[in-house]
Chains A and B, each alone.
Chain A
Amino acid sequence: MTMSRFELTRIPIIKKILASRWLQWSLIAITLPVFLLSILAGLFGTPAGSRNFGIVFVWIVWWALLILLMLPFAGRLWCAMCPIPAPGEWLQRRALVQPRERGRLDTLGLKWPRRLNNIWLQNATFLAVALFSVVILTTPMVSALVLALFAIIALSISLLFERRTFCRYLCPVGGFIGLYSQLAPIEVRVKNHAVCVTHKEKTCYVGSDAGYGCPWLVFPAALDKNTYCGLCTECLKTCPLDNVALFARPFGADLLANKGRRLDEAYKAFIMLTCALAYSIVLIGPWSILREMAYAVGSMGWWLYAAGFLAVNLAVVPGIFLACVLVGKKMGRVIASTRKLFVDYAYALVPLGLAAWAAFSFSFVLTNLSYAWQALSDPFGWGWNLFGTANWSWTPYLAGWQGMLQVPMLLVGLVGAIAVAFRTAREQRASPRVALPIVAFCIAFTLALVGLYL
């Protein structure tokens, strides 16, 4: 199927910006001080989370920008400006802006084990962080230590392994950003595959004097979904034939093609969907006992919470989904393997998952965003008033409107999920009835969240 898309790089100013070697450095030059300030404020500032820049700007402001703006509209844009891998990448390149000869990199050059060429580790690191998230999200010191730990691991991995191995295989955030970037209405793709076939040097992958080979270990000519494209735009710079471009496209375009679907990505979809529900229950539901259990790390209650959390993420929700797949398989008399159906239909959860995260994020972002004014003027909670906003009182934004934002958001996700489910059935030349239990699953999930939010 051909998909309508528009080449944004035909617009000269966009082309010029994307071709500039200053682009990524400029973005990181903005986020790096913010990241450093977040760590310093967490380590040395007030332990009151709502007064600490490290908590407010990472887990409220950044999170809101990521989930509500960057992910749905720009996919992996954050990965292009993330400060965490930047020092390691600069050390690999021995340069910050200009390319080295033939895009050479200095690392030990170790190859990432083939067995780990997937996002299972990212699933594991995300769950590991998620288990402690109630503490990480509210305790500045812990939050700062976790961020610093990410930075140290990213740096170490950069020195040992080639390119952005940390981002590609380990970063707990990168996993779900990649999954949901499939929904974004932009993509970096080659214009004409035939040109790539005739271009023997493959400078987009190996690098050239104009730039570095794809840091994300992707051959751009083979790129058919956004999942592993970090939007760094190196391939636009290294392609001597001007055959790589940035395109605008319909939302969710990657999900319309049933290609390259994998169990590790399917599980990422389950984990993200389940976590959105679990957080909604634990953090904003009426069961304070769950909140206390989640907070009391190391206690018997926390171990119970952790066991339940992992069981629901890894077994219960995927198990229910598997049951739906089996019912659908029976209803539609499909001959495809259960594993294939399980994986293919899991991608229907991608739009619903992002919608669930957006809805969940509305609940605390709108309530707490006003703390940003205080934290901006007094990042450490030391009594500063840099911009005159330190004493602005806490004010929930759009109070009373949250439900009206959350429910339509969920419905949009549900419609997307249903569309992907039926599309998957059509691609498999199966009866639409196969998708019906999946649709029922998505409706039940949506109703559960609506019940929590209203």
Chain B
Amino acid sequence: MRREIFALGVVVLSFVVFPASLFAYQAWRTNALDARVIELTANVPANGGWQPDTIRVHLGERVRLRISSTDVVHGFAVPALGIQVDEILPGHVEEVEFVASRAGRFPFACTRWCSVDHWRMRGVIEVIDPQNPNPASPTFAPPLYQQLNVNIDAAHPARNVPSEHPSAVRGAVLAEQITVDADTRTQSPSDVFAKLRADAALKSYGDLQLWDAIAFEWKRAAGDDAIARGRQLYARDCAACHGESGKGDGPAGRNLPGRTVIDASARRGPADFTNAAQMLGASDVLLQGKILRGGMGTGMPEWRSLYTDQDMWDVISFIRGFVFEYGMSDKK
């Protein structure tokens, strides 16, 4: 009988005490960490995307995210909280810690081209203030394109197209001679050209010279740092569909319908940023509207939840460089 009791005791240890001790150890360990540990798993969107895709934490809480991938290499970013993990390798666990210092909803996303549906791989961190668990929805000013009543779905062909790509480098030489007094956010380059061309004082200058001056003005207004930052964002978030050279030939964009969902005669696939006839007819505001709202079925994702206004202006400044030759090195 004693033998049976001993054997039974060992089995009870296996079934009850052993599992209980595992969870007790984890509970003790988590308490000792002084941070709430949250496991976050990355899967390609076809297999579920982020799990969980909504993370709720309390204001002031210290949070440790343990991020792992079950399939391919992913990245992780919460732009509004300044969190960025460049690489989450399958089978590895990346840890990132932050303090939820302000209440609100902070979208996060994968930052590596993990699959065709990569852009769907998004989630949100909700920081809840226990004192005010149901805050009134924050009010945002409508985006600029709505304030200015710009129809971002309408075709926007340029009224004038230069014979070759305008050069900001040549334009710099003309900067003291040609004053481009334009709002580069709200006016399209084509409109600015029309205004300059109509100026009798600039009659002696050729069309291409005016275009060069416009290219320089766009570059000057943006600033080199913004263009360089836009290049990084473009490489990370846009190039897979729009292509490294901006021609709309990226591998992830091959099967996207593009503007054909609006206009059946339009070209399939992502926008071609080297197409001067289209790009010069679009104002920065119009381009920003397309970026922040997304393409409504065209395949273009929305970026409002992830990008700040400055992010979008920086990307647009860089994109302009596919038509305006900025003369900047790639490394800049």
Contact = CB atoms under 8 A, between A and B. Distances in A.
Interface of A: 25, 29, 32-33, 36-37, 40, 46-51, 90, 95-98, 138, 371, 379-384, 394
Given A37-B22, A97-B7, A48 B91 contact: yes
Contact of B68 (A25, A29, A36, A48): A48
Contacts of B66: 46, 381-383
A444 to B, nearest CB: 35
A50 B90 contact: yes
B28 to A, nearest CB: 11
Contact of B93 (A46, A90, A97): A46
Given A29-B10, A96-B7, A49 B70 contact: yes
B186 to A, nearest CB: 48
Interface string B12-29: 001100110010011001
The 7 closest A-B pairs by CB, nearest first: A50-B91, A96-B7, A48-B68, A33-B14, A97-B7, A47-B41, A32-B14
B3 A382 contact: no
Contacts of A97: 3-4, 7
A23 B29 CA distance: 37
B8 interface: yes
B312 to A, nearest CB: 34
A154 B28 CA distance: 35
Interface string B58-81: 000000001011100000000000
Contacts of A33: 14, 18
B249 interface: no
B232 to A, nearest CB: 29
Interface string B84-97: 00000011010100
A371 B90 CA distance: 12
Nearest to B95: A383
B310 interface: no
B93 A96 contact: no
B11 interface: yes
B233 interface: no
A384 B41 contact: no
Contacts of A380: 22, 26
Contacts of B146: none
Contact of A383 (B18, B37, B90): B37
Contacts of B8: 96
B39 interface: yes
A48 B4 CA distance: 40
A258 to B, nearest CB: 43
B44 to A, nearest CB: 11
Contact of B90 (A25, A48, A98): A48
A29 B4 contact: no
Contact of A51 (B7, B25, B91, B95): B91
A97 B3 CA distance: 7
B308 interface: no
B143 to A, nearest CB: 38
Contact of A48 (B3, B19, B37, B70): B70
Contacts of A48: 41, 68-70, 90-91, 93
Contacts of A47: 41, 51, 68, 70
A39 to B, nearest CB: 9
A187 B8 CA distance: 31
A36 B15 contact: yes
A296 B8 CA distance: 44
B14 A51 contact: no
B26 A51 contact: no
Contacts of B4: 95-98
B93 A383 contact: yes
Most chain B Cβ neighbours within 10 Å, of A47, A97, A380, A384: A47
A46 B39 contact: yes
Contacts of B37: 382-383
Nearest to A83: B14
Contact of A40 (B7, B22, B25, B29): B22
Nearest to B13: A33
15 contacts: A29-B10, A33-B18, A36-B15, A40-B19, A48-B68, A48-B69, A48-B91, A51-B68, A51-B91, A96-B11, A138-B70, A379-B22, A381-B68, A382-B29, A382-B39
A44 to B, nearest CB: 8
A95 B5 CA distance: 10
B93 A381 contact: yes
Most chain A Cβ neighbours within 10 Å, of B3, B25, B69: B3
A11 B144 CA distance: 91
Given A50-B90, A95-B4, A97-B3, 20 more contacts: A29-B11, A33-B14, A37-B18, A48-B41, A48-B68, A48-B70, A51-B68, A96-B8, A96-B11, A97-B4, A97-B7, A98-B4, A138-B70, A371-B91, A379-B22, A381-B68, A381-B93, A382-B26, A382-B29, A384-B29
A59 to B, nearest CB: 14
Contacts of B11: 29, 32, 90, 96
A47 B8 CA distance: 33
Contact of A46 (B10, B18, B41): B41
A397 to B, nearest CB: 16
Contacts of B15: 32, 36
A315 B157 CA distance: 63
A135 to B, nearest CB: 11
A160 B18 CA distance: 29
A293 to B, nearest CB: 13
B26 to A, nearest CB: 6
Contacts of B70: 47-49, 138
A90 B7 CA distance: 11
A136 B312 CA distance: 44
B26 A394 contact: no
Contacts of A51: 68, 91, 93
Contacts of B19: 36-37, 40
Contacts of A384: 25-26, 29
A384 B32 CA distance: 13
Contacts of B26: 380, 382, 384
Nearest to B7: A96
Most chain A Cβ neighbours within 10 Å, of B4, B8, B69, B91: B91
Given A47-B70, A48-B70, A36 B14 contact: yes
Nearest to B41: A47
A333 to B, nearest CB: 57
A82 to B, nearest CB: 15
A90 B14 CA distance: 15
A95 B11 CA distance: 12
Contacts of B7: 25, 29, 96-97
A211 B202 CA distance: 110
Contacts of A50: 90-91
Contact of B3 (A29, A40, A98): A98
Contacts of A138: 70
Contact of B14 (A29, A95, A394): A29
Nearest to B5: A96
Given A46-B93, A48-B69, A97-B3, A36 B41 contact: no
A379 B14 CA distance: 16
